[in-house]
Structure 1
Amino acid sequence: MKQEILSRIQKKFPLVAKPFKVIADELKMNEKEVLEILQNEKKDNIIRQTSAIFDTKRLGYKSSLVAFKIPQEKIDTAVEIINSHPGVSHNYERNHEFNIWFTMAVEPDSVIGLDKTIELLAKLTEAQDYIVLPTLKLFKISVKLNTTGKDEKKEKVKKVIHTDLELTPLHHDIIMRAQYDIDFVSEPFAQIIKDLNITYDTFFTILQELQESGIMRRFASILNHRKAGFNANAMVVWDVDENNGEDIGERAAAFSAVSHCYLRPKYPNWPYNLFTMVHGKTTQETNAIIEEMANEIESKSHMPLYSSREFKKVRIEYFTLAFKEWEDKNNG
C-alpha cells in the first residue's frame, strides 16, 4: 500500500480539507494508517516536499538552464557562490567538460536581469566558459516516479490551454503560503485558512484558478529520487532537426520515464537542442530506456549526462526579499 500512496500523492493530490481521508477511502484504509506511512516516508527523506508547484515564468520571473565550465579544483568555491543566489533551485555536477549545471531565475523587477546575473556569476566563479539554455518550447514537466511498477511505458501528454488571470492580493497571499511544504496531518491547510481568515471553499477555488491559468502547475508530492530507489537519472541531450523539433519533442515526452522535456537553443560549442530527463532505478534500466527512445526519435546524435553530485535541489521561494538582498550585496 505504501507504493500506491506514494503514487497517488505524486499524481493527483486531493485538494480538499482532509486529503488523506480521501486517499484512505480510495485504498480501503483508515486515515491514521495513511498519515503514519507518509510521516515515516517524510522522516526517512523519501518524500522531499508536498506543496503547490508554480510556473516560474507565469509569475513573471525570467529563467534558464545554465552550464558552466569550472576547473575541478575550483568547483567547491564556485558551487558555494552559485548556490548563494535565491533563484538557483537545482545545481549538479555532470559528466561533461561543461560540468556544473544549474537552473537560474530572477524576479520580475530584477535590477540586473537574467543575462547580467549569469555573467556576474561566471565572473565570480572564474568559469572558463558557459552556455545559457533558455526554454524555447516546453513539452513536459512532471516528476512522477513509477513507484508501483505498474505505469505504462508511454503516456498521453495533455496540451493545456491556459486562461488569463489577473492576480489579486489574495492570490499573492495564497501563492506565498501554498509554495511551502505541508505537514502530514488530517487538515494540512487549516493554518493557511486561519491565517488568511478565509473558507476552505475560497482557498480551493483560488488554487483551481491558479491551476487553470497555468500559474500553478499542480499540487503534489515530490520524492527524493535516490531515496525512492531511482538511482540512475540522466539528462539526455539530443541534436535534432529544428524544423521537426516540436514533433520529435512530443514523441520524446510521451515516454513515462521522461519527467522533463524541452527544446533549447543550439550554439557552435553546443549542438544539442532537445533535453529530456530520464529516470530509472539502475544505469542499465535508464540506458535501455534511452536506447528505446533513440529508436523512435530522429536525431543526429544524443548524449546522456549523468549527475555525479547534487549540490542543490530546492523550490524557489517567490515574492521574498532574498532576491533584492542578493543583488544589493553582489551588484557592486
Structure 2
Amino acid sequence: MPILVTGGAGYIGSQTVSDLVDAGETVVVLDDLSTGFEAAVAPNARLVVGDVGDAMLVSSLIAEHNIDAIIHFAGSIVVPESIADPLHYYLNNTSKTRSLIEAAVGGRVPHFIFSSTAAVYDSKELLPVREDDPVRPQSPYGRSKLISEWMLEDVSRVHPLRYTVLRYFNVAGADPQKGVGQATKGASHLIKVASEAALGKRQFVEVFGTDYPTPDGTCIRDYLHVRDLAVAHRLALARLRTGGSNLTANCGYGRGYSVMEVLRAIERIAGTKLDIRKTARRAGDPVAVVADPSLARSELGWTPIFGTLDAIVGSTLEWERVRPY
C-alpha cells in the first residue's frame, strides 16, 4: 500500500521515509529540494522533485501509485521568519496544505498524517501541555499549522478521510548510520547551531533572552530525538490502517531543558568551551514548552528509546563530524 511523503527529503521527512522503507513500505517522496537533499532520501524510495502545491502533479502521483496514505511534512518552520514574512507561511503551510487535502479527497486517499507543532499552544498555560489545552499560537507559523489542523477536522466530517495530527515539540538529534541529520544551510535549531560551534563550524552561539521567569533565565524546551519521532509516524499509520479514529497527539518526552542546560551538555560531551553571546529576546519565543505525551503512548503504543539529552546531543555531534551532504 504505497505512501506519499511530502517533504520527504527534509530532516524529519527523510528519517521517516528511511524508517518506513526499513519496515517494508513502498514510499513515493515529493519534495521541491528547497531545504531538503536528494542524498537524504532512502535508496529504495522514489523521489519526485516538485511542489506540493501543484495539484495536477499530486493528483497524478496519487492515481499512478494508488496511494493509500499521505504523510505531510512539506512546509516552512522558522518562527522569527514567519513573523517577518507571514504571507509566505500562509501560502507554503496553509494554502498548499489545502491543495494537498483536496487532492487526497479527489483521489480517495483514506489516511492522512499531518506534521504540526507545539507552537499552536498558549505559551502561558501550565506545563506540561495536553492536547485539549487552549490553542493560542503566538506566531504566523503556529497559526498556519493550526488552520491546517482545522481544515483536516472539517474535511473529515464530510469525506472518508481519517487523519492523525502529530504536534512536535523541539526535534533534534540525527542518525549518522542512515546518513540522516539536520543539514539545512543556516538552520536556527539550538542543538544544531551549538554542535556546529563546538566543532568549529560557527564562531559563537547566541542566547536570545536571559530574563525569562525560569531558573536560569533562559527558555525551556522539550527536546525530541528525530528517530523516535519517525517511529511515531509509522505507528500512527498502522493505527489508521486498522480502523483508528481521528487523533491529535503530542510528540515529546515530557521533560524540559533550558537553553543553558543544553549548551552545558554540548560543552561536556564535545569536550570544548562554547563562545556564548547573550542577546535580547526574539519575538514569538514562548517561555517554556513541555509536552504531556500520554496520548501518543497510549493510542499509538509509542515507546521512545532515545529520550535523553545526552543521546540527542551525542548523535548530533557525530552527525556534524561525518556529514555526507
TM bucket normalised to smaller? under 0.3
More strand by share: 1
TM-score normalised to structure 2 length: 0.27
Structure number with higher relative contact order (C-alpha < 8 Å, ≥ 6 residues apart): 1
1 or 2, which has the higher helix percentage? 2
Task: Compute the TM-score of the two structures, normalised by the length of structure 1.
Answer: 0.27
Q: Which has the larger radius of gyration?
A: 1
